[in-house]
């Protein structure tokens, strides 16, 4: 006769009854968890690709708009470059003025009336629209306005050679009812100190003259700086290569301070002056930005932007900081939370199907093992021990299978997406 199993140890009972349920439930549970983990990683990979594409579309990560104290632009640029996390920075200078009567642009010595005179230049030539970008040491003269507004000015200015910004200086100037300076009489002696004198404060050769609509220039500014700017509807823009002296001279002439090459300084009439210097900064993207770590990227970019804001405010109150990349990651963070919710909703039907499958599998196992269960009962094994063994085998198999499925469902897709194992610290943030 066989030995009664009434007092058998749990290990023997597990070998007899629990090995197959543990294996089957481990495989099924591992497969379900593998699919769930792979779906999560794949959704994060899709988000990472979206983030990478959006970041590439942002030409500059942080913009600093300086609208006063043009002389501080160099110090501000140096301060921005020294901020931790800033990889590079450039400047786009757009100085606009409604000139007083005494400040006159001239082309080859001939005066040219314009309601606006502007200077556009950039430390990086790619920041200037290609159609008006100087190709030599000369400047491009841009007439802003429609053909109807310009009349024949565009045709008359073709093939001109030199642009001068002239200040008409005189004493005891006669003014009309509008405050405009009147020309001196022709019989006034040439050496009379009261006779107005032309003082050239800015001169540059002309490379070419083109006409451009203000909306085209505004569209370019919007693409480059993520913000529109004030482009006069009708006026003259001098587009020059980067030259600190040219910027300083135009700024001083617009503010009414004139410095001549003879060392003579005097004050003239200031214009209605609207200077704008846009400091464009790019962060160290490989170190700070990762589509796999949205929250961490937002924190690192925000930290760099906060340091930069502090530096700017310490230097001048006439500048404002626009965190382009930080604002984008705030929006992406909201999208990431919605994607996580969608992933959860997609997983719920799979979990429901898995529950039904595991229930049916348990019934099938009991039916297949009914002969063995009857023999165990005949040997004196209690139903409580049989039930505990089956439940323990199912729980152990499900636990081991779930852990292996979670590991494989995370590591295998990440290895494919990364081309190798990702940094270990990044894995918990992804899964």
> Distance (Å, rounded) from C-alpha 55 to C-alpha 297?
12
Under DSSP, is residue 201 helix (H, G, I), strand (E, B) or coil? strand
What digits encode the pLDDT tens for the residues 261-282?
555 666 667 778 899 999 999 9
- pLDDT-derived band of residue 316, with 50, 70 and 90 as boundaries? confident
Angle of helix 370-378 relative to helix 383-418, nearest 10 degrees, comes to 140
**What was the pLDDT predicted at 173?**
44
What digits encode the pLDDT tens for the residues 283-301?
998 888 888 888 888 889 9
Cα distances (Å, whole numbers) of residue 19 to 161, 398, 399, 404: 95, 12, 14, 18
Contacts of 195 (CB under 8 A, 6+ apart): 170, 184, 188, 189
**Average pLDDT of 127-147?**
87
- Structure tokens that stand for 99 in this block: 């000139």
Under DSSP, is residue 230 helix (H, G, I), strand (E, B) or coil? coil
> Distance (Å, rounded) from C-alpha 192 to C-alpha 246?
31
Angle of helix 383-418 relative to helix 19-57, nearest 10 degrees, comes to 30
- Structure tokens that stand for 54 in this block: 């959006």
Contacts of 400 (CB under 8 A, 6+ apart): 22, 26, 30
**What was the pLDDT predicted at 175?**
42
DSSP strand pairing (235-239 vs 272-283) = unpaired
> Distance (Å, rounded) from C-alpha 34 to C-alpha 406?
5
What are the extents of the domains in the chain?
A: 10-54+332-430, 89-182+193-280
Nearest to 225 by CA among 58, 77, 409, 430: 58
> Distance (Å, rounded) from C-alpha 264 to C-alpha 366?
106
Contacts of 159 (CB under 8 A, 6+ apart): none
Does 192 have pLDDT greater than 60? Answer: no
């Amino acid at each position: 006769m066989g030995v009664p199993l009434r007092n058998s140890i749990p290990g023997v009972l597990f070998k007899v009854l629990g090995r197959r349920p543990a294996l089957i439930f481990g495989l099924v549970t591992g497969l379900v968890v593998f699919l769930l983990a792979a779906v999560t990683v794949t959704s994060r990979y899709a988000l990472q690709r979206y983030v990478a594409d959006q970041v590439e579309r942002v030409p500059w990560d942080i913009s600093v708009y300086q609208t006063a104290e043009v002389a501080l632009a160099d110090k501000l640029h140096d301060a921005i470059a020294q901020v931790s996390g800033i990889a590079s920075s450039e400047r786009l200078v757009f100085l606009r003025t409604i000139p007083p009567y005494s400040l006159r642009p001239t082309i080859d010595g001939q005066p040219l009336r314009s309601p606006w005179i502007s200077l556009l230049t950039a430390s990086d030539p790619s920041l200037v629209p290609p159609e008006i970008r100087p190709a030599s040491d000369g400047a491009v003269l841009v007439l802003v306005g429609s053909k109807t507004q310009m009349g024949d000015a565009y045709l008359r200015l073709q093939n001109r050679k030199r642009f001068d910004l002239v200040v008409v200086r005189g004493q005891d100037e006669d003014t009309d009812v509008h405050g405009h300076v009147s020309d001196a009489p022709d019989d006034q002696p040439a050496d009379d100190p009261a006779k107005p004198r032309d003082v050239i404060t800015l001169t540059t050769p002309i490379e070419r003259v083109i006409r451009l609509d203000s909306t085209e220039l505004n569209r370019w500014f919007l693409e480059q700086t993520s913000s529109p700017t004030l482009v006069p509807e009708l006026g003259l823009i001098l587009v020059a290569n980067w030259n600190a002296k040219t910027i300083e001279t135009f700024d001083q002439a617009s503010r009414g301070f004139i410095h001549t090459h003879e060392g003579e300084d005097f004050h003239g009439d200031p214009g209605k002056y609207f200077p704008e210097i846009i400091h464009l900064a790019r962060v160290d993207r490989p170190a700070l930005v990762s589509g796999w770590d949205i929250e961490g990227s937002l924190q690192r970019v925000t930290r760099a932007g906060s340091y930069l804001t502090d530096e700017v405010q310490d230097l001048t109150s006439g500048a404002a900081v626009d965190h382009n990349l930080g604002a984008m990651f705030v929006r992406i963070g909201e999208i990431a939370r919605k994607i996580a919710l969608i992933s959860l909703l997609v997983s719920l039907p799979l979990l429901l199907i898995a529950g039904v499958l595991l229930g049916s599998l348990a019934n099938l196992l009991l039916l297949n093992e009914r002969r063995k269960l009857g023999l165990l009962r005949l040997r004196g094994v209690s139903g409580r021990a049989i039930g505990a063994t089956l439940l323990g085998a199912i729980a152990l198999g499900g636990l081991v299978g779930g852990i292996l499925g979670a590991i494989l469902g995370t590591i295998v897709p990440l290895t494919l997406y990364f081309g190798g194992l990702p940094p270990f610290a990044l894995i918990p943030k992804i899964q």
